[in-house]
Copies of this chain bind each other. A is one copy, B any other.
Amino acid sequence: MTHVPLPRGFRAAGTYAGIKKPGRGFDLGVLIADEAYPAAAVFTQNALLGAHVHLCREHLAKNGGLVRAIVVNSGCANCATGQQGIDNARRTAEAVATRLGCPPEQVLPISTGAIGAHLPMDKILAALPDLIDEALQDPGGSEGVMDFTRAIMTTDTFPKLESATFEARGGEGRVTGIAKGAGMIHPNMATMLGFLTTDAELPASAVEVLRQTVDRTFHRVTVDGDTSPNDTVVLWASGLRAAVDEELVDGALLDTASRLCKQIAADGEGATRLVTVQVRGAASEADASHVGRTIATSPLTKTAVAGRDPNWGRILSAAGRAGVPIDVAKARVWIGSTTLYEDGRPFPDREPEASRHLAEEREVTLGVDLGVGEEGADVWTCDLTADYVRINADYRT
């Protein structure tokens, strides 16, 4: 999150275009590649789709998976805006493509912000030329990407930017990830955006590598179970560095994406604790991940953490309703490093120790072993506090 450069082949910039109210920070950013590089994207599962999801899918179907630029605005989700919304996204992409001299389908336009309002096209079209010129002059250091990161924030309280390096032939390779998070629940907000850039030659197609990375990271961060209409994660690889071992690339991607996910969870509105839910002893990794998400979306476990209450019963009960195999007699539940339930028996005398973990650490752990297999998964979330309800109840007033 400090001074993080972009991987070789990428440049970035951000600016204030007047989409947000003045004083709310940047609202328009671009990521530009030196050439059109392989990219893949995953989008929200919500049936209500932001206009950019329609257009990005169309472009990715036409451009052979090669992307030259990504343009992102915050302050307006361009969602529930009908055909005009799609037309506006298209005009944004065309404006970028014209300036760069590339086909429009090599540009992915992405929006985040409030639902139900149209993009202020005059302001966007007026700001784009200077923004693109600035990005083209960006040396790919930490300044341009930080401006871009700030430009995609909505109610995030801090910019989310992470990087990892890997050993490559001809020098160090890099993954740099940028995300905007969720606050706790973000009502009419396009909840989550993630951009993973790398100079690695990918070990498989961008689509495959992205799917694998997202399944183990972005699909395992949950704030309230409400997917937004605009959720988008992109992987984009210049291929300028060949890793000495393909697994190093996977590792750097997972590492970067995991750290972004933790930042998203930690930035939950009103949150005071980053919670890692560890599920072990599952029949499959999919089961483990599903149980983890069930625990991590349970208001019951989240309020317990807020109250520093080592309430193992809430964890076991949430695991029990997840609908996957569990052997309650062999199950184990822990908080921090303290086992509170094992072999069908609770250990109430250990609760003060677990309570201290919740009270004293900012990053806390809730764990359950399902007692039926060898697979596991970690899921990230945050606690649920009275402040979070207050913030969201008063969201538009």
Contact = CB atoms under 8 A, between A and B. Distances in A.
Interface of A: 44-49, 79-80, 82, 114-116, 185, 187-188, 224-229, 297-300, 303-304, 306-309, 311, 313-314, 316-323, 326, 328-329, 341, 344-346, 348, 384-390, 392-397
Contacts of A311: 187-188, 395-396
Contact of A384 (B48, B298, B321, B389): B389
Nearest to A343: B82
Tell me if A's interface is mostly helix, strand, loop or mixed.
Answer: loop
Given A298-B225, A299-B299, A395 B309 contact: yes
A307 B397 contact: yes
Contacts of A308: 397
A306 B393 CA distance: 6
A188 B389 contact: no
B80 A346 contact: yes
Contacts of A326: 47-48
A303 B386 contact: no
Nearest to A385: B389
B47 A313 contact: no
Given A307-B397, A317-B229, A344 B82 contact: yes
Contact of A390 (B44, B318, B386): B386
A114 to B, nearest CB: 8
Contacts of A344: 80, 82
Given A45-B323, A185-B303, 14 more contacts: A49-B328, A80-B316, A115-B317, A116-B346, A188-B311, A188-B317, A224-B300, A226-B300, A227-B321, A229-B317, A299-B299, A307-B392, A308-B397, A386-B386
A45 B322 CA distance: 9
Contacts of A46: 317, 320-321
